[in-house]
Amino acid sequence: MAAPAIAVESLISGVRLSSVGPGEVTGTDVIHEPSNMDLAMKLHYIRAIYYFRSSSVEGLTIFTIKECTFRWFNLYPHTCGRFRRSESGRPFIKCNDCGARFIEARCSKTLENWLEMEGCSLYHKLLVSNDVLGPELGFSPPILIQVTIFKCGGMALSFSWAHVLGDAFSLSKFLNLLSQIMAGHQPPNSPLPKPETKVSKSNNSSLLAVELRSVKRVEPVGDHWITANNCKMENYSFQITDQQLEVLSSKLFQTAQITPFESLSALFWQCLASITEGSEPKTVTICRKDSDNREKETLISNNPIINTVQVDFSVAEADPKELAALIMEQKVDEKSKIEALVQQDEGLTDLIMYGANLTFVDLEEADLYGLELKKEKPVFVNYTIDGVGDEGLILVMKGLRNVSDGSNGGEGRTVTVVLPKNQILKLKEKLQKEWSIA
């Protein structure tokens, strides 16, 4: 595949690097302690891309965007700090205002052409940074922002966000604050107050990762926070329209009382099980947003509800309704056990959650299209995650908007999968054949 590789390199040019940070001085010796759940997620990275058409960004210069980010970072200056380790080895953030990396680039294609190409992870990586924290932890930015201008004037605004700072809901809420600042509204008083980080005391002091099904211990990574995979992982985004969802729920589940997340999760689980015959994923992890006490928590945090589902029958031959029912059922939340495990050894354990089992993440409630420029919503938003384990990850989020249509009309869903390369090809074929999903 030499020819496409050459073409890929010529797609992006004019790359310039700089840094942006909080406009106000945070002060000396201010530190931020990540919670236990934050440290459990430290090997994962969220890569989010927001695509805007040219009318949304007319008159917007790089300088204007940078100026707004300076005011935006005043709200949560700890995201601009750098990691250090305390004497016990537990990582913390020194709020030294070092900043986020800011990358400017130009693309030789128009936005429409690009979106037609979009779906392939190779191209996704050009618009968002692939950096991870480490090997020099003290000099690695947790956030990297990239602004890519397309030939037609459209723009891709992307954020590479270390999961240790917060989950996808936190990121999308934080970005919606940026949207308010760019629209000229007064941001709330900065920095916003952080509640006490509650450290849960573990009853069972010898809790082992073995007892937890949702996370897996990996080889120690030291200060380079990324885990190696046994096979090459790629990502791909499927667009599922409202009509297709209706067809799904009527044919497979014969009920309308099912959320898109549950129906899509069940569908994908079954498809993957039939593809990987012999080594079906019998255990899956479901990751949702914790809707209770959301207001009490700080905006930027890791606050998921993590359940696992284990079956002993063949998933490929099972009734999808049964799978959906299992997914819907919320058993014991493993979050507190994970926190206790991390607390036990001061965050020195290296864990992965996404990809320890086949993981389904419900991002339906995230207001991904809330980041508006000049009162226009983005044309397309895609979130994916790096640092996913071999079992793979499936994200379900709100879908592509019609380019011509503003806020009304069907949303559909975007399903982004992170799977071993060979599984993706087979999955694409199967979904295309059986459900016309592309």
Partner 1 sequence: MPPTLPNFSSSVKLKYVKRGYQYLVNHFLTFLLIPLMAGILLEVLRMGPEEILSLWSSLQFDLVHVLCSVFLIVIIATIYFMSRPRPVYLVDYACFKPPHTCRVPFATFMEHSKLINKDNPKSIEFQMRILERSGLGEETCLPPAIHYIPPNPTMQASRGEAELVIFSAIDNLLKKTGIKAKDIDILVVNCSLFSPTPSLSAMVVNKYKMRSNIRSFNLSGMGCSAGLLSVDLARDLLQVHPNSYALVVSTEIITPNYYRGNNRAMLLPNCLFRMGSAAILLSNRRKDSRRAKYRLVHLVRTHKGSDDKAYKCVYEEEDPQGKVGISLSKDLMAIAGEALKSNITTIGPLVLPASEQLLFLFTLIGRKLLDPKRKPYIPDFKQAFEHFCIHAGGRAVIDELQKNLQLSAEHVEASRMTLHRFGNTSSSSLWYELAYIEAKGRMKKGDRVWQIAFGSGFKCNSAVWKCNRTIKAPTDGPWANCIDRYPVFIPEIVKL
Q: Which residues bind partner 1 (CB under 8 A)?
A: 16-21, 23-25, 28, 63, 66-67, 70, 82, 96-99, 139
C-alpha 432 chain-centroid distance: 25
How many other β-carbons are positioned within 10 Å of the β-carbon of residue 228? 8
Pick 132 or 324: Cβ nearer partner 1: 132
Pick 16 or 421: Cβ nearer partner 1: 16
Pick 29 or 219: Cβ nearer partner 1: 29
| Least distance in angstroms from the C-beta of 105 to partner 1 | 13
Q: What's 272-321 look like in SS3?
A: HHHHCCCCCCCEEEEEEECCCCCCCCCCCCCCEEEEEEECCCCCCCCCHH
Pick 23 or 191: Cβ nearer partner 1: 23
CA distance 63 to 324: 48
| Least distance in angstroms from the C-beta of 412 to partner 1 | 39
One-letter identity of residue 307: N
One-letter identity of residue 121: S
Tell me 373's DSSP state.
B
Phi, psi (5° rounding) for residue 271? Answer: -60, -45
Report, in this order, helix, strand and coil percent for the chain, each rounded to 5: 30, 25, 45
Residue 91 makes CB contacts below 8 A (sequence gap 6+) with 34, 39, 42, 83, 84, 85, 137, 164, 347
One-letter identity of residue 25: V
Pick 145 or 437: Cβ nearer partner 1: 145
| Least distance in angstroms from the C-beta of 93 to partner 1 | 12
Pick 66 or 430: Cβ nearer partner 1: 66
| Least distance in angstroms from the C-beta of 16 to partner 1 | 6
| Least distance in angstroms from the C-beta of 161 to partner 1 | 19
Pick 139 or 313: Cβ nearer partner 1: 139
Phi, psi (5° rounding) for residue 106? Answer: -125, 145
| Least distance in angstroms from the C-beta of 20 to partner 1 | 8
DSSP, collapsed to helix, strand or coil, labels residue 190 as: coil
CB 15 within 8 A of CB 105: yes
Pick 102 or 354: Cβ nearer partner 1: 102
| Least distance in angstroms from the C-beta of 256 to partner 1 | 51
Pick 16 or 294: Cβ nearer partner 1: 16
Q: In what helix (H) or strand (E) does residue 268 lie, and over which residues does it extend?
A: helix 260-275
CA distance 423 to 320: 20
Question: Could you tell me the two tokens for 236?
Answer: 């791909």
Half-sphere exposure of 27 (CA within 13 A, CB side): 6
CB 308 within 8 A of CB 286: yes
